[in-house]
Chain A
Amino acid sequence: MKKHLIAVPYYVWAVVFIAVPLLMIGYCAFTDASGAFTLENIQQITKYWPVMLRSLLYAAVATACCLVIGYLLAYCMAQQSERTKTVLMILLMLPMWISFVLRTQAMQDLLDLVQNWLKAAGIDLQVRNNALAVVLGLIYNYLPFMVLPIYTSLEKLDKRVIEAAEDLGANRFNVFRKVILPLTMPGVGSGIIMVFVPTISTFVVSEKLGGAKFNLIGNVIQEQFLQVYNPNVGAAISLVMLVLILFILIIFSFLDDETKEGLL
């Protein structure tokens, strides 16, 4: 009974900030400006397939890069002494204490700086306003979300199990492939979700680093709400994205660990 009472604030929170907004999105997506039922908003989605596809692609690429870099980073961190671990952990977390928008703005300015240097050196190379800059921005911003869960699962790993594998004849590569990787799959799984879900819906990074040409679906939704003042279409796109992400996550969670390893 007491436990229920403690949970009440959470239920209120969940209803006010999660359930109600979701219902509102659902309502808006299927009504027009006058409030009458319509499927027109949903039908408009077809216009945005290319942007949606691009968002998916960028998110997937960024997640894959984060996975490779993040695993390596987490693995190296886990090998260090306790002191070095703490220092590295602070270094990793430090940028996250700075506002996301500010960080991305800083990256934009940095890339512009590089652009100027390149120009001065007579090299004609576009470093900003392209796909690469957007993906780099995504990787930079979301890398810690990949490193943390993987690092945690590496830390939890029983060192004696690794020794057991070596004892049975496994070299470093086999120890990694047959013991360390499978035992850290839970961390890899949460890392993928924690990077993929926010990267697919971000709009700040694409706005600052992609110019207007590399809009992601997040930009389109923001545009519909704040510039075109057509919240119904915005809600419809959000709803479709929501269903899409949910669908991908469900498929992902149904894969067993071995298939996931195979995919890696």
Chain B
Amino acid sequence: MKNIIELQNIHVSFDGETILDHFNLNIRDKEFVTLLGPSGCGKTTSLRAIAGFVQPQAGKVLFEGKDITKLPPHKRQVNTVFQRYALFSHYNVFENIAFGLRISKTPEKEIKERVHEMLALVNLKGFENRNVAQLSGGQQQRVAIARALVNNPKVLLLDEPLAALDLKLRKGMQNELLRIQRQMGITFVYVTHDQEEALTMSDTVVVMKDGLIQQIGTPEDIYNEPTNPFVADFIGESNILPGTMLKDYLVEFEGVEFPCVDAGFGENVAVDVVVRPEDIKIREPEEEALHGVVETVTFKGVHYEMMVRSANYLWKIHSITCREPGTKIGMKIIPEYIHIMAKEAGTAN
């Protein structure tokens, strides 16, 4: 598949403060890409660079291979669903959605058809004459989406579109957004700080921190093979502990040698080891080489969360069975669940 958007070596700074640095991102046509990262890491800024509201000091923005870095927002074939909607309060629902069509001087009959099509798409039939201020948050969100989609953009940019909605509504809207993306067959670039949202919705996740891309990959890649402790920690919960790569496919941590699936780190190299809490199986102490003592148990609904102390590390374990605090247990970790990360320069622990 070809790239519809390419960000090449983008550099953005405000008042001398670097916001985005060496930002390289290729977005393929019809892909659902999510920019994920903590608040203030530059997600909105990257989206605004694509939309044209931010002029990068260096680097290029390509759209279908053409350089659009200098093109003003109103000439770009992308549309945005803004954080907190930014609807036109002086227009009703119909006129909000029709805005883009009126600008392009579309015939009245076609405007009517297109707006009603959009209203059906976002499940707002019969709302055309409503005042936008009278709509609920979820309904305003739908208007914002319909308004952005009416121009048939090739790319839709969505900046934390669901952040202001409550949990239940958010789940429903996630599914609807996916449905809309499939139905329209266009590219979505989605911004969120919610890792679960990113993992469930995306084809590709871009994890960001302090204006730098940490990792780009499928949700499975990001979850199972985080490239550094930040990603591992940000995406779900993790046990991250120091270890030594003895040789290819063999790692040592907490005084125990484990077979693993990673290679190419060299021999006797210090590394970080990542194990997800749900990937540790509880066994009898005599069955396993790695032992620990249960310190606390918390019921979390679907599973129990146990904190288990081994020689030098306090493990977090998720399990549907639980052991009393004080119990000595064995911990089984199969090779596929052991993720090895090279130690980052300057973060030795």
Contacts and interface: CB of A to CB of B under 8 A. Distances in A.
Interface in B115-154: 147-148, 151
Given A164-B82, A168-B79, A183 B74 contact: no
Interface string B77-96: 00110111011111000000
B74 A169 contact: yes
A161 B88 contact: yes
A168 B82 CA distance: 12
B73 A167 contact: yes
Interface residues of B, number: 24
Interface stretch (B97-105, B200-208, B228-236, B340-348): B97-105
B100 A183 contact: no
A165 interface: yes
B99 A160 contact: no
29 contacts: A158-B86, A160-B84, A160-B86, A161-B86, A161-B87, A161-B89, A163-B80, A163-B86, A164-B80, A164-B82, A164-B88, A165-B88, A165-B99, A166-B72, A166-B73, A167-B148, A168-B148, A168-B151, A169-B75, A169-B100, A169-B104, A169-B151, A170-B74, A171-B74, A178-B99, A178-B103, A179-B90, A183-B89, A257-B90
Main secondary structure of the interface of B (DSSP, over half): mixed
A174 interface: yes
- Which are the 3 A-B pairs with shortest beta-carbon distances? A168-B100, A160-B86, A164-B86
Interface in B147-169: 147-148, 151
Contacts, number: 61
Given A168-B99, A170-B103, A163 B82 contact: yes
B74 A167 contact: yes
Q: How large is the interface on A (under 10, 10 to 19, 20 to 34, 35 or more residues)?
A: 10 to 19
Contacts of A171: 74
B260 interface: no
Contacts of B102: 178
Interface of A: 158, 160-161, 163-171, 174, 178-179, 182-183, 257
B188 to A, nearest CB: 15
Q: Label chain A's interface by main secondary structure.
A: helix
A169 B51 CA distance: 11
Nearest to A175: B74
A179 B104 CA distance: 16
Given A168-B79, A168-B151, 7 more contacts: A161-B89, A165-B99, A167-B73, A169-B75, A169-B151, A174-B103, A178-B102
A247 to B, nearest CB: 28
B86 A168 contact: no
B313 interface: no
A179 B102 CA distance: 13
Nearest to A167: B80
Nearest to A163: B53
Contact of A160 (B75, B82, B90): B82
A164 B86 CA distance: 7
Contacts of B103: 168-170, 174, 178
Nearest to B99: A168
Contacts of A170: 74, 99, 103
A165 B73 CA distance: 10
Contacts of B147: 164, 168
Contacts of B83: 160
Contacts of B86: 158, 160-161, 163-164
Given A164-B82, A167-B79, A182 B151 contact: no
Interface in B2-54: 51, 53
Nearest to A179: B88
A164 B144 CA distance: 10
A198 B80 CA distance: 46
A169 to B, nearest CB: 5
Nearest to A182: B90
A163 B74 CA distance: 9
B90 A183 contact: yes
Contacts of B51: 167
Most buried by B among A161, A168, A169: A168
Nearest to A162: B86
A169 B152 CA distance: 12
Contacts of B73: 163, 166-167
B59 to A, nearest CB: 21
A194 B86 CA distance: 31
